[in-house]
Amino acid sequence: VSGKSVAITGVGSIGLMAIPVARAAGASSIFAIDVQPAKLELASRLGADETFLARDSDWVEKIRGRTDGAGVDVLLEMSGHAPAINQGLAALRNGGRAALLGLPQEKVNLDIAELIIFKGLTVLGIHGRRMFETWYQMQNMVKRHRIDLKAIITHVLPLESFDEAFTLRKSGTAAKIILDLR
């Protein structure tokens, strides 16, 4: 993503982690999109240049405005929600690349011709075959202090407070919760 503009739809734990990784990899601009204002605040602290509420219907146009009308170079779709997938693909420039990592819980209707074929997009899914290669790359980035993932940990609770952890997670105000076994 070096020198590329990146949009991340869905800034849960994995989407939030993608922000400092994209920044360390040289992204020129990072846009974060989510339904939770608290997650967007955290996205800003982690290095997103601009954040947008997913329910604001004009976020695609705003991103196009920030990219001279072209759209972003890279989409990291982390939410798995049909509207975010459609809007994320619409926010991509012609010839852009999309990595679909969010797992939809329902079938997603896409205008494949309009959103992918005519734009010449490259769309990638995920698979586990390169899991260890990715693990070692991330481990190296953390060890060399190129990324700091501590900000993603929003709560550390004793194991006995697991009910509170689930409540926090459902509220949308927590990112990564650590249950301390001590």
Q: What pLDDT is recorded for position 112? A: 97
Mean pLDDT of the chain: 92
Of residues 173 and 112, more confidently modeled: 112
Question: Could you count the other beta carbons within 10 Å of the beta carbon of residue 164?
Answer: 15
Percent of the chain residues topping a pLDDT of 70: 96
Give pLDDT tens digits for 48-87: 999 999 999 899 999 999 999 999 999 999 999 999 999 9
Burial of 2 (0-12, 13-18, 19+ CB in 10 A): exposed
Q: List alpha helices for the chain, DSSP H.
A: 13-24, 37-45, 59-66, 82-90, 112, 131-143, 162-171
Output the pLDDT for position 180.
93
Strands 5-9 and 122-124: unpaired
* Mean pLDDT across 90-99: 98
The amino acid occupying position 116 is I
Mean pLDDT of 129-140: 71
118, pLDDT greater than 70: yes
Residues 6 or more apart whose Cβ sits within 8 Å of residue 23: 30, 47, 147
pLDDT of residue 7: 99
Residue owning tokens 């997009």: 121
Task: Give the model confidence (pLDDT) of 8-41 as tens digits.
Answer: 999 999 999 999 999 999 999 999 999 999 999 9
Domains and CATH numbers, the chain: 5-130 (3.40.50.720), 150-182 (no CATH)
